Amino acid sequence: MKAVRFHEYGDPDVLVYEEAQRPAPGSGEVLVRVAATTFNAVDAGIRSGNRQGPFPVTLPHIPGIDLAGTVEELGEGVASAEVGDEVIAFLPIVPDGAAAEYVVAPAEILAPAPSNIPLADAAAIPTVGLAAWQALFEHGGLTAGQRVLVNGAGGAVGGYAVQLAKGAGADVLATASPRSIERVRAAGADEVIDYTTTGVATALTEPVDVVLNLAPIEPDEFDRLTDLVRRGGAVVSTTLWMPAPSDEQRGVRGIDVVARSDAEDLSRLAQLVARGELRVEVSERVPLSELAAVHARAEAGELPVKVLVLPT
């Protein structure tokens, strides 16, 4: 099969499009014919060698943690899937990923792909969709009637977060740059703040129940966002290089979030897509042979919101 692998850590040019052995599913696993994967920042971190501690991959390694595809073969003991099923998954990070024609996945992490969009497009759901869902509802405890601030809503996670929060009946405030304001507004934000011209603390006229931070932010600015949260609320952040601040006196929780693979959560997201209640945004589609160029564009800050990588 064709795959993209890196045999050593380094810059994007270590990624090689080449022949690799087609994997075989073991007990509890399935073989999936890949319709698409995506680029995620963690892929670049692993490729560069900067994430060897948490993610000790074996070289050569195939990246790609998002998966949409069709079940091709069942391993021993698999009863939850059938050959021909169209599925999506957030793959384990350390084993070989989906930047290939075929990938092996644990059957327990698979969710049915929504049938109302192209199968390849569904690869844009798992990692970022799960990050938004788990941050808002599992960690933030967001409920209908509450107010949430999504700081840095212009990215892929932010787009899902705005849609999911609005769909849950929350009042959604968001920050974005001029190039993404209209997209964030179209996702359902009630108010969009241009953070390049207006301070968030100045723009908010009343407190929020949850702050979801998705953007790099200075510590003092982060602390000011905490001051905007009501007593008993939460500050949830995906920017793990800087811990989320808290305020114990007012019962404001600071929570750092890493998205986890969860088939039940992913199935919920797919159902929302299938009902037309969650829109999947794909910025660009590229062939697998151009994955190294995608990594290079990401490092140059030139990559759009969500790029699909197609094996053919």
Q: What's the rounded Cα separation, in Å, for the pair 131 and 230?
A: 23
- Is the same domain home to 74 and 121? yes
Q: What is the CA radius of gyration of the chain?
A: 20
- Is the same domain home to 107 and 141? no
274 within domain boundaries:
no
pLDDT, one tens digit for every residue, the chain (312 residues) = 999 999 999 999 999 999 999 999 999 999 999 999 999 999 999 999 989 988 999 999 999 999 999 999 999 999 999 999 999 999 999 999 999 999 999 999 999 999 999 999 999 999 999 999 999 999 999 999 999 999 999 999 999 999 999 999 999 999 999 999 999 999 999 999 998 888 887 788 889 999 999 988 888 888 888 999 999 999 999 987 788 999 999 999 999 999 999 999 999 999 999 999 999 999 999 999 999 999 999 999 888 889 999 998
262 within domain boundaries:
no
Dihedral sign for Cα 106, 107, 109, 114, please.
positive
- Is the same domain home to 115 and 135? no
Q: What's the rounded Cα separation, in Å, for the pair 168 and 164?
A: 6
CB contact at 8 A, 198 and 176: no
265 within domain boundaries:
no
- Is the same domain home to 72 and 164? no
What is the amino acid identity at position 124? A
290: domain CATH number? Answer: 3.90.180.10
- The whole domain housing 303 covers 2-125+280-310
- Is the same domain home to 75 and 155? no
- Is the same domain home to 181 and 106? no
- Is the same domain home to 14 and 117? yes
**Which helix (DSSP H) or strand (DSSP E) does residue 250 occupy?**
none
Both tokens assigned to 38: 């995506």
Q: Which pLDDT belongs to residue 198? A: 83
272 within domain boundaries:
no
263 within domain boundaries:
no
- Is the same domain home to 111 and 140? no
Q: What's the rounded Cα separation, in Å, for the pair 60 and 187?
A: 40
- Is the same domain home to 136 and 247? yes
- Is the same domain home to 15 and 81? yes
First and final CA of the chain: distance in angstroms? 11
The residue count of the chain comes to 312
The number of beta carbons lying within 10 Å of the beta carbon of residue 85 is 17
Q: Which pLDDT belongs to residue 150? A: 97
214 within domain boundaries:
yes
Q: Write phi, then psi, for 289 (nearest 5 degrees).
A: -65, -15
Q: Which pLDDT belongs to residue 303? A: 84
Q: What's the rounded Cα separation, in Å, for the pair 300 and 293?
A: 11
What burial class does residue 119 get, using C-beta atoms within 10 Å of its C-beta: 0-12 exposed, 13-18 middle, 19+ buried?
middle
143: domain CATH number? Answer: 3.40.50.720
- Is the same domain home to 113 and 138? no
Q: Which pLDDT belongs to residue 196? A: 84
CB contact at 8 A, 127 and 259: yes
Cut 0.85: pTM above it: yes
Last residue of a domain, one of 219, 241, 256: 256
How many domains does the chain contain in total? 2
81 within domain boundaries:
yes
- Is the same domain home to 162 and 97? no
Q: Which pLDDT belongs to residue 200? A: 82
